[in-house]
């Protein structure tokens, strides 16, 4: 990649489980992505939902390649079938992986009442912090869904960075961090073409306007 590629901003790539069961992508594609981006300092990887594969498959592969990543488990599913346990979260943190919150119940945060919002933004964070043994100061919005009320609540609770699913490059150091989710029908070529390649100007403008509309609705 060229200096121009890096100048266009950081690339956040999100995974949602690896292999069956669930919505996970093929493990071979995951490993190919790791090998593709391992030398790119401007690419950050993250894992949503806290599937057991985060510890069983992703963690050993990341360690073997010297790659750090960010994990966003669901606090309400810790230890449930197919999901990472509290000890698994501690294992991820002990290996140098960052832990953030994906909320409690994997529900959209838009339209929640005060009590439910507190459970999602505060209760979930506290439960994950206890499991990880580290403070939690980042969050990933479930379904990539947010509005200005959600963003205001996240700021009020002191989250240092918030990750979305807006499929565009991120401004390094920005509070709101868009991400590209890897999909089940992706190939390493679509990853190169749709995610890693520099986004053309019209596409950048369209993506930025779309995100602004979401943030102000």
pLDDT (tens digit per residue) in 114-170? 999 999 999 999 999 999 999 999 999 999 999 999 999 999 999 999 999 999 999
Name residue, tokens 């150091």: 173
Burial of 158 (0-12, 13-18, 19+ CB in 10 A): exposed
Distance in angstroms between the alpha carbons of the first and the last residue of the chain: 36
Q: Report the DSSP pairing between strands 180-181 and 176-177.
A: unpaired
The backbone torsions φ and ψ at residue 181, rounded to the nearest 5 degrees and listed phi first, read -90, 135
Query: Which residues lie across from 25 on neighbouring strands?
Result: 18
* Listed residue (176, 73, 67, 179) closest to 132, CA to CA: 73
Name residue, tokens 């690339």: 11
The answer for 107, left when phi > 0, alpha when psi is -120 to 50, beta otherwise, is beta
Q: What is the structure's pLDDT at 111?
A: 96
Average pLDDT over residues 73-87: 97
What pLDDT band is residue 188 in, cutting at 50, 70 and 90? very high
Tokens of 117: 């919002």
Residue 173 has pLDDT above 80, yes or no: yes
What pLDDT band is residue 3 in, cutting at 50, 70 and 90? very low
| 179, 126, 60, 16 alpha-carbon torsion, rounded to 10° | -40
Edge-first strand listing for the sheet containing 176-177: 138-140, 161-163, 176-177
Mind listing the domains of the chain with CATH numbers? 3-216 (3.20.20.370)
Name residue, tokens 């073409």: 193
Q: What is the structure's pLDDT at 24?
A: 83
pTM of the model: 0.90
Can you point out the beta strands (E) in the chain?
11-15, 43-49, 70-73, 98-99, 138-140, 161-163, 176-177, 180-181
Residue 67 has pLDDT above 90, yes or no: yes
């Amino acid at each position: 990649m060229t200096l121009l590629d890096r100048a266009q901003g950081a690339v956040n790539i999100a995974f949602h489980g690896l292999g069956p069961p669930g919505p996970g992508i093929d493990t071979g594609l995951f490993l190919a992505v790791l090998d593709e981006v391992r030398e790119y300092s401007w690419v950050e990887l993250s894992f949503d939902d806290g599937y057991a594969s985060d510890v069983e498959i992703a963690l050993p592969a990341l360690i073997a390649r010297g790659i750090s990543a960010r994990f966003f488990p669901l606090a309400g599913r810790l230890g449930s079938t197919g999901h990472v346990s509290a000890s698994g979260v501690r294992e991820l943190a002990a290996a140098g992986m960052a832990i953030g919150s994906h909320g409690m119940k994997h529900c959209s945060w838009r339209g929640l009442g005060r009590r439910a919002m507190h459970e999602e933004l505060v209760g979930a964070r506290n439960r994950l912090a206890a499991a990880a043994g580290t403070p939690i100061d980042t969050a990933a919005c479930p379904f990539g869904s947010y509005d200005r009320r959600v963003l205001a609540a996240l700021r009020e609770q002191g989250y240092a960075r918030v990750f979305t699913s807006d499929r565009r490059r991120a401004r390094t150091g920005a509070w709101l961090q868009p991400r590209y989710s890897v999909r089940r029908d992706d190939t390493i070529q679509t990853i190169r073409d749709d995610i890693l390649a520099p986004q053309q100007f019209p596409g950048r403008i369209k993506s930025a306007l779309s995100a602004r509309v979401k943030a102000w609705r």
